């Protein structure tokens, strides 16, 4: 049995107990990648040799008692928009095909210090712009549950790698649902923390005011453990928040007695797939049976979240991505005449169509004469959405709903209609606009066998409430564990690693 079939916490415990070694864990991860990733393409870069070397060091430190944490020796996959010193970091873009950061992102640094071993960098939508992982310049990632479907995005590589047991857990980033939606599509558990909880230092920005790094894992316990490891007050990130409670695992209690759970009626309306709606309702009932008080309410403003999100995220992105210009790092056009032409050609060649679309959209909404009508209005909408959530959290501990209106669409079905793809973010983007924490975990499968995700949203800094609710739901066992359902075909059809380097 592969050590990758264990949860991160289980594996960590086993290594600590001397029943397995960090090196065996890394080997099993690399073997799984070898077998499956040719088909799935979860990874852009695999750092096998380094990971094995690191595993030996970590093993010694575990044996010396220098590393005692729950993640010591556990292999982790890192989304390719998180900087890793000396290890290529592409953001799934051609423009960064050769970029090797000079420093490591704070969240990754903290994981490394906790003894987790980075085995590689996962595929994603280019610069995290997309909901399918199809906008990557390094090929699409496939959904392990059905290879004809997308894994979701933008953290599709991370979520698919966890689902396919190519690693024990992964890091993703979530700007408008990029952890939660692919977690839902891949049947894994993903958490987007309160804005400011995990340092963004070293996360290559998409929408700076919305981006958060978070865990992608097999279960709620792992999510809490990983969040504990990656969260911190970091002086290098001015938007980092000094919190009182970093002991997220303390919330892993199977008790929702008296917990007030609200379901926004606006989340169950038009556009929501019936199978998804039924599964989410069933999950709510399961929690009610355990003693939670569940009721429906009107959240309001839900329909304004998507336009506000795309205006703000694209505006920030248009500025954040300006630094990729061929001057300092990354792709530079081979032939050009003068500075302006060099910029133009390097960026035209380096960025894919979805990124260009969002840069243009963002530049437009910030341009003089349009700023007030678009950007300022979007900021006001953002503030109103936050107020709507504030009102809801006066009444409820947790808001429950779907993570996405459907299960994973077929490959190629989304990009031809970007507006439709944007509308798929309806249940996730408002959480980023309001800076809230939310967790997605599996709550069933549709008729085609694709996973359905349940989303639990908390008030700012109320991670513990959503962790408790999610953990309690998980204990009902009303959905099946992922590992029993990883498509057997994938495991067998793999034909070695032939990834782009």
Q: How many other CB atoms are found less than 10 A from the CB of residue 323?
A: 12
- Does 77 help bind another protein (rule: CB under 8 A)? no
- Tokens in use for 499? 């990834």
Nearer to another protein, 266 or 325 (CB): 325
Residue 215: beta bridge partners?
171
- Does 497 help bind another protein (rule: CB under 8 A)? no
At how many degrees (to 10) do helices 48-64 and 22-40 cross? 150
By CB under 8 A, which span of 24-32, 177-185, 214-222, 323-331 interacts with another protein?
323-331
Q: How far is the CB of 149 from another protein (least distance, A)?
A: 31
The residue within the footprint of another protein, chosen from 129, 159, 205, 256 (CB under 8 A), is 205
Q: Which of 80, 177, 207, 160 is nearest to 411 (CA)?
A: 160
Residues with catalytic roles: 79, 154, 178
| C-alpha to C-alpha distances, 179 to 124, 219, 263, 377, nearest whole angstrom | 11, 14, 21, 27
Residue 123 · residue 157 · CB < 8 Å:
yes
CA-to-CA distance for 469 and 252, rounded, in angstroms? 9
φ, ψ at 140 (rounded to 5°): -80, 155
**Binding-residue pattern over the window 365 to 404 for another protein, x denoting contact by CB under 8 A:** -xxx--x---x-----------------------------
Nearer to another protein, 253 or 339 (CB): 339
Please, is 483 exposed, middle or buried when counting C-beta atoms within 10 Å of its C-beta (0-12, 13-18, 19+)? Answer: middle
CA-to-CA distance for 128 and 441, rounded, in angstroms? 21
The residue within the footprint of another protein, chosen from 2, 16, 38, 208 (CB under 8 A), is 208
CA-to-CA distance for 137 and 501, rounded, in angstroms? 12
Nearer to another protein, 96 or 487 (CB): 96
CA-to-CA distance for 111 and 164, rounded, in angstroms? 22
Q: How far is the CB of 29 from another protein (least distance, A)?
A: 25
- Does 310 help bind another protein (rule: CB under 8 A)? no
- Does 360 help bind another protein (rule: CB under 8 A)? no
Name the E strands within 142-221.
169-174, 189-192, 212-217
Q: How far is the CB of 364 from another protein (least distance, A)?
A: 9
CA-to-CA distance for 86 and 78, rounded, in angstroms? 14
The residue within the footprint of another protein, chosen from 319, 406, 476, 493 (CB under 8 A), is 319
- Does 101 help bind another protein (rule: CB under 8 A)? yes
By CB under 8 A, which span of 155-163, 266-274, 363-371, 411-419 interacts with another protein?
363-371
Q: What is the DSSP string of 344-413?
A: HHHHHHHS-HHHHHHHHHHHHHHSTTTTIIIIIHHHHHHHHHHHHHHHHHHH-SEEEEESSSSSPPBTTS
Nearer to another protein, 379 or 384 (CB): 379
110, containing H or E segment: helix 106-113
- Does 96 help bind another protein (rule: CB under 8 A)? yes
By CB under 8 A, which span of 6-14, 20-28, 231-239, 474-482 interacts with another protein?
231-239
- Does 111 help bind another protein (rule: CB under 8 A)? no
- Does 89 help bind another protein (rule: CB under 8 A)? yes
**Binding-residue pattern over the window 162 to 201 for another protein, x denoting contact by CB under 8 A:** --------------------------------------xx
- Does 327 help bind another protein (rule: CB under 8 A)? yes
Residue 35 · residue 56 · CB < 8 Å:
no
Nearer to another protein, 323 or 410 (CB): 323
The residue within the footprint of another protein, chosen from 72, 83, 301, 467 (CB under 8 A), is 83
- Does 105 help bind another protein (rule: CB under 8 A)? yes
Judged by the rule CB under 8 A, the positions of this chain that interact with another protein are 81-83, 89, 91, 96, 99, 101-103, 105, 200-205, 207-209, 235-239, 315-316, 318-319, 322-325, 327-329, 339, 343, 363, 366-368, 371, 375
């Amino acid at each position: 049995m592969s050590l990758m079939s264990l949860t991160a916490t289980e594996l960590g415990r086993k290594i600590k107990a001397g029943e397995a070694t960090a090196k065996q864990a890394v080997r099993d991860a690399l073997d799984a990648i070898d077998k499956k990733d040719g088909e799935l393409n979860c990874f852009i870069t695999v750092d096998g040799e380094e990971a094995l070397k690191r595993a030996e060091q970590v093993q010694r430190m575990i044996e010396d008692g220098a590393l005692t944490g729950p993640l010591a020796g556990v292999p982790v996959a890192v989304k390719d928009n998180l900087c890793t010193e000396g290890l290529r970091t592409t953001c799934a873009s051609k423009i960064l095909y050769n970029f090797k950061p000079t420093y490591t992102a704070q969240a990754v640094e903290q994981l490394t210090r906790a003894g987790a071993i980075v085995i590689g960098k996962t595929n994603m939508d280019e610069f995290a712009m997309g909901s399918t992982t199809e906008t990557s310049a390094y090929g699409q990632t496939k959904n392990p549950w059905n290879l004809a479907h997308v894994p979701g995005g933008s953290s599709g590589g991370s979520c698919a790698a966890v689902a396919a047991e190519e690693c024990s857990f992964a890091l993703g980033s979530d700007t408008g649902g990029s952890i939660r939606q692919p977690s839902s599509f891949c049947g894994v558990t993903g958490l987007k923390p309160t804005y400011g909880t995990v340092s963004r230092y070293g996360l290559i920005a998409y929408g700076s005011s919305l981006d958060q790094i978070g865990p992608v894992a097999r279960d709620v316990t792992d999510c809490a453990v990983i969040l504990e490891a990656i969260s911190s007050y970091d002086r290098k990130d001015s938007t980092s928040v000094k919190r009182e409670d970093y002991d997220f695992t303390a919330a892993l209690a199977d008790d929702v007695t008296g917990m007030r759970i609200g379901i926004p009626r606006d989340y169950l309306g038009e556009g929501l797939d019936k199978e998804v709606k039924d599964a989410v309702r069933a999950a709510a009932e399961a929690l009610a049976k355990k003693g939670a008080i569940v009721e429906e309410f009107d959240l309001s403003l839900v329909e304004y979240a998507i336009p506000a999100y795309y205006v703000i995220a694209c505006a920030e992105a248009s500025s954040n991505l300006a630094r990729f210009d061929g001057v300092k790092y990354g792709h530079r056009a081979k032939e050009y005449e003068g500075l302006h032409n060099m910029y133009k050609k390097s960026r035209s060649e380096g960025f894919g169509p979805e990124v260009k679309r969002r840069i243009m959209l963002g530049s437009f909404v910030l341009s003089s004469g349009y700023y007030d009508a678009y950007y300022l209005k979007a900021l006001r909408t953002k503030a109103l959405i936050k107020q709507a959530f504030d009102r809801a959290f006066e009444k409820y501990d947790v808001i429950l709903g779907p993570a996405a209106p459907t299960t994973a669409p077929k490959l190629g079905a989304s990009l031809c209609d970007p507006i439709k793809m944007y509308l798929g973010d309806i249940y996730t983007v408002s959480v980023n606009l309001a800076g809230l924490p939310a967790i997605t975990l599996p709550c069933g499968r549709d008729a085609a066998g694709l996973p359905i995700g349940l989303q639990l949203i908390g008030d700012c800094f109320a991670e513990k409430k959503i962790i408790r609710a999610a953990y309690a739901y998980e204990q009902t066992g009303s959905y099946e564990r992922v590992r029993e359902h990883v498509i057997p075909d994938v495991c067998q059809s793999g034909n070695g690693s032939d990834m782009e380097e």
